[in-house]
Structure 1
């Protein structure tokens, strides 16, 4: 993802929302500060979030304003007013599960202390009105100005995940076939970076689904995102199976030279596939499958053979074979994605 693009659109929308909110408040001769505060925090990644959280922020702001007016009436403009208004606003919003409105409600409660000196009820109503202006304007801006489109970010993330997994596959399977794999595997790093990237992409896909409620997708776009989601599931499972290999207990006498060659050839094939999106060489996959069945046959004849005592050779060949199968599925989804992308580009 390119942060400058992602953050930039929200910054632009925030600026537009603040300007329009302040301008409308000026037309009605109403104080703009509370409306502007609301407008700033209401710009969300999706229109759906802006609307949903707006219904939370309005009552939360009302609670903050009410506490502020009440304590100003009792104690005037004093430190105890600030403390009680802020504290009770937070507690009440938390108890009522208005978590999305905590920030704007607390800011409203504290900011009102300085500007209210009389006509408490009228001031309370004005604050609710300006808060409503901020919510409505900000939501409208989010919907119509630079509508969120996460397609490019999702595509970039998918490419980054592919490349990271390719590098991890090469490193892991060359390590477990090293001369002394027990010592070598201790140096393998966790794949948490890949996992975070996968989670981030899942979030972006969810954002795009929510956005589709207000900016409907064409059939080709729906098909595109459905297939991308399936691809991401494949990558997530591949990541899981790589981690299984990393956590497998090894011995230093695991492999014969020809077995190492088969495993490394399969790993190289996967790396090439992820980097270039080329089809897997079925000769290498067939050799790996034969190795797996040989290891399976040997394991079943061992006296300690049980579900709890699978030998590491069997586990590693199984995981690698599973990764190959998931990769083939990933490529199948990719063909449909390519087709839908062409249709989308032609329709624009």
Structure 2
């Protein structure tokens, strides 16, 4: 919640400042500020790179909209057909020129200009280009200089949050599978979907951060952190995949005794604790627990007959549950592997 508020709050502040500066500059020139303000509002993007890229598209798109507004008001005056033709022609031309990012602003500019142009059509056209330029330049400068986008802290917090949630889900999922049998697993699947959504949001943050590398050398020097974050997010995504696979195993009646289920649940609890308390992760303890589960897996797999192994879907549910658990253990070990940081740092050297 706090992370979302912080992101939106800084963007609101930057938008407000961009509007104020844009309107002030336009009024100083004696130009109507409304078009510049519209441009400034839509140009505040999550990254400075996006602001620049989309600004370069919105300027020619706005010029096209202004040109059509001047053309059709000259031909038909202030009439319904003028609004219609200005909007439709702007949309068609912007679409054909693939100026999709500027289509909305250009169309709004075209129809709004019909209302305010009464004479001096050519002068009005150039004034509109000037106000658009002011909106683009001011909003991009504000985005770059005021609270410059830096998502590293949000990325790290998000990964920790996803890791903690994954630990809780892991324990919940295995408890359901081991002790509730054919219980309704819809809640577990819904939790997996929520985890997937959080991972996708974090992937977007990483994408935003990469966009800033070309503009901020200070951020670019910290690329090792971003590589590590991408690596950890990939492991969390794989973990989510295996949790979902676990929930899709047809359980029926598991043959394990209560004692055997407790052994598995103990291993799961240790694994969940690793994910929820990453600072306390101990590789040696993790490996000892993994050996217990691996030995149990091979011992349990001896009971699989040839007919059972004809197709993976015919494997007993016990075999598949243990396989998923061992795979998750391996993923968690890689998630906390300290060598991955060194590898990321070497890749930049």
Q: Same fold (TM over 0.5)?
A: yes
Counterparts of 1:118 and 1:147, CA distance in 2:
42
**What secondary structure does 2:182 align onto?**
helix
CA-CA distance at 1:217 after TM superposition = 3.3
- Map 1:136-147; keep pairs closer than 5 Å: 136-147=137-148
Alpha carbons 1:35, 1:132 under 8 Å: kept? yes
C-alpha spacing 1:27/1:334, structure 2 compared with 1 (3 Å): farther
Deviations 1:232-283 (A, max 9, x none): 1111111111001011122213422233122211110111111111225433
Structure 1 residue aligned with 2:303:
298
Counterparts of 1:16 and 1:271, CA distance in 2:
46
**What secondary structure does 2:303 align onto?**
helix
- Bigger shift: residues 266-275 or 27-36: 27-36
Structure 2 residue aligned with 1:188:
188
CA-CA distance at 1:153 after TM superposition = 1.5
Counterparts of 2:269 and 2:184, CA distance in 1:
19
**What secondary structure does 2:222 align onto?**
helix
CA RMSD of aligned residues (A): 2.2
Counterparts of 1:334 and 1:64, CA distance in 2:
55
Give ranges in structure 1 of 5+ residues lacking alignment: 341-348
**What secondary structure does 2:188 align onto?**
coil
Structure 1 residue aligned with 2:118:
117
- Alignment partner of 1:307 out of 303, 311, 317: 311
Alpha carbons 1:265, 1:284 under 8 Å: kept? no
CA-CA distance at 1:44 after TM superposition = 0.5
Counterparts of 2:50 and 2:220, CA distance in 1:
24
CA-CA distance at 1:152 after TM superposition = 2.2
Structure 1 residue aligned with 2:334:
329
- Map 1:201-216; keep pairs closer than 5 Å: 201-216=202-217
Deviations 1:156-192 (A, max 9, x none): 21122112111110111111111x5123435533211
Counterparts of 2:318 and 2:136, CA distance in 1:
60
C-alpha spacing 1:192/1:333, structure 2 compared with 1 (3 Å): farther
Counterparts of 1:218 and 1:69, CA distance in 2:
45
- Map 1:33-52; keep pairs closer than 5 Å: 33-52=34-53
CA-CA distance at 1:336 after TM superposition = 4.2
Structure 2 residue aligned with 1:245:
246
**Aligned length in residues:** 337
TM-score (norm 1): 0.90
C-alpha spacing 1:83/1:15, structure 2 compared with 1 (3 Å): same
Give ranges in structure 2 of 5+ residues lacking alignment: none
Alpha carbons 1:14, 1:40 under 8 Å: kept? yes
TM-score (norm 2): 0.90
